[in-house]
Chains A and B, each alone.
Chain A
């Protein structure tokens, strides 16, 4: 089976207009996205995520290397037939109404009037823009623009949907709705490739992620293989013990924080919890809460970032 996206040695160097100064933004990117997955493309600001996406959608040309969408080179127009694209901070013709714009998109795909109307109705429902479709898009809020952007990206029932920061600028409800749409697309067997720096969103829905830092790929893999499933640390909140008492077991704790009479201690090994609890019972203190902390994408990200910056 061919991958949805196959990136091979993609590099991009921008040349500034006046001084012809070169700026290498993407170097030798190799990446493969299996179809049917939700793929998170992570990276800090300026990592080259948008650049990669623009290369995939044919908006800019690679300096070297190439990429394939379902086996079709991005140089060929057919590579865009099964693709949908939601740009970063989408902006559309402000003088058009949402309805006119979607109709225009349908015409670009060469759809007939009746199939356009049907599809538009369906999409407006999906992105929850029913009732605002007759407004000029200059009056749309950021969230509405994001929704109409999503609608236009889905017009051709794409097998692959590429989204650049689909959740940025949205409120928690909006983000949840976008996540739901992405999950819905996956249910339909579609591939979703999206960039983001909102890690918790990625963690919630991605099957696979790649981390791009400074134009180079740092890491790529299945989310579950990626993050250490073991508990990373345990936070225990205690009441009724004094500093002096605690100092007896200090070697066991990786950190202590005091809030009035409450104390938050941190253990970095699971087996130490038993000992701590035994000690607490012995000292007649109270346990308020025990929170195990697993490794998050954020930890991984920060780690990679540190390495990336050093390199």
Chain B
């Protein structure tokens, strides 16, 4: 347990000392500020653009950070041989991988919190009240990031960063479309297409489950049972993906 914590904290430290993270966060903040300009240009519902773009930026930059950090995490350790002294100690490979995962979660949590605080301030500055609908959507964005980074770790447990990045991004995109794809496949009349889309539907993460941005912007109440189910779903999916990652990571020879 101590080992996992040490690895997680060290992973966080590495991410925090990396300049890429800051530039991404900086971009996200710029996007949010840009929404102020756009808001001036729209007629009708004010603040909508600020919240839209704010939630959108936090989400997409979070995904980029999750992927960029996630795919490099394991690979860099092997490439630079920094993993050698760790695994030669009584530290399991599974502990290493899980520590890495918690490290990236910690990084994403801090980053999401930071950007959320910024968004809150912007909205507060505009509306004069604290928006109580935003936190749930932001929390679910974090859950989505947790799923995406588990997928990134899975790919990087056996593949190069480039390929892992491609795969993870593809899964991120398809993960938002699985419901449509499944219906499309079911209605297409082609048995192969149907089988394929059904397979995707159950195998890939259904990331739309964590998308509560519209609910936040339009202040639509969300059933708490839905939230709990989604959280359970995310948890099971993450554990499954991490177990698979550990399985492939255990087998590996470090060159």
Cα separation A156 to B91 with both chains bound (whole Å): 13
Q: Which residues of B contact A95 (CB under 8 A)?
A: 13-14, 17-18
Is A59 in contact with B82, judged by CB distance below 8 angstroms? no
Tell me which residues across on chain B come within 8 A of A59, comparing CB atoms. 83-84, 87-88, 253-254
CB contacts (< 8 Å) of A100 on chain B: these are: 13
Q: Does A152 contact B (CB under 8 A)?
A: yes
Cross-chain contact of A87 among B81, B89, B90, B253 (Cβ < 8 A):
B81
Tell me the complex Cα distance, A54–B78, Å. 13
A174 at the interface (CB under 8 A from B): no
Within 8 Å CB of B14, what residues of A? Answer: 93, 95
**Interface contact B85-A149, CB-CB below 8 Å:** yes
Instruction: Say which one of A104-112, A230-238, A248-256 lies at the interface with B.
Output: A104-112
What residues of B have a CB within 8 angstroms of the CB of A153 in the complex? 85
Q: Which of A60, A91, A96, A109 contacts B90 (CB 8 A)?
A: A109
Q: Nearest Cβ distance between residue B205 and chain A, in whole angstroms? A: 29
CA A219 – CA B9 in complex, angstroms?
Answer: 46
A77 within 8 A of B: yes
Q: Determine if A83 is an interface residue (Cβ-Cβ < 8 Å).
A: yes
Q: How far, in Å, is A140 (CB) from chain B's closest CB? A: 13
Query: In A50-95, which residues have CB < 8 Å from any B CB?
Result: 54, 57-61, 77-78, 80-81, 83-85, 87, 89-93, 95
State in angstroms the CA–CA spacing of A61 and B253 once bound together. 6
A154 CA / B61 CA spacing, docked (Å)? 42
B10 and A104 form a contact (CB under 8 A) = yes
Q: Do B92 and A108 touch (CB < 8 A)? A: no
State the interface size on chain B (CB cutoff 8 A): 28
- Contact pick for A108, options B82, B89, B251, CB 8 Å: B89
CA A259 to CA B134, docked complex, whole Å: 91
Within 8 A of A (CB), among B220-255: 251, 253-254
Whether A91 contacts B87 by the Cβ 8 Å rule is no
Q: Count contacts between A and B, CB distance < 8 Å.
A: 84
- Please judge, given known A-B contacts A54-B254, A61-B253, whether A87 and B6 are in contact too, CB under 8 Å: no
**A108:B254 contact, CB within 8 angstroms:** no
- The residues of A that contact B5 with a CB separation of less than 8 Å are 107
CB pair B10–A93 under 8 Å, yes or no, is: yes
Contact A85 B13 (CB under 8 A): no
Q: Given A58, A78, A107, which contacts B3 in the complex, CB threshold below 8 Å?
A: A107
Cα distance, A58 to B6, chains bound together (Å): 20
CA distance A84 to B2 in the complex (A): 19
Q: How far is the CA of A115 from the CA of B213 in the complex (A)?
A: 49
Interface string of B1-42 (1 = CB under 8 A from A): 111011101100110011000000000000000000000000
Residues of chain A with a CB closer than 8 A to B86's CB: 108
CA distance A104 to B96 in the complex (A): 13
Q: Report chain A residues within 8 Å CB of B91.
A: 77, 80, 108
Is B82 in contact with A104, judged by CB distance below 8 angstroms?
no
Chain B residues near A93 (CB-CB < 8 A): 10, 14, 82
Contact at B17–A85, with CB atoms within 8 Å? no
Instruction: Give every chain B residue within 8 A of A84 (Cβ-Cβ).
Output: 88
| Residues of A contacting B88 in the complex (Cβ-Cβ under 8 angstroms) | 57-59, 80, 83-85, 87, 162
Chain B contacts with A in 61-81, Cβ cutoff 8 A: 80-81
**Complex contact A77–B82 (CB within 8 A):** no
Chain A residues near B17 (CB-CB < 8 A): 95
For the complex with contacts A14-B253, A107-B9, 7 further pairs of A-B residues with Cβ separation under 8 Å are A59-B88, A78-B90, A80-B90, A90-B84, A93-B14, A109-B89, A110-B2
11 sampled A-B residue pairs with Cβ under 8 A? A58-B87, A59-B254, A77-B90, A77-B92, A87-B81, A87-B88, A104-B10, A105-B85, A108-B3, A110-B3, A156-B89
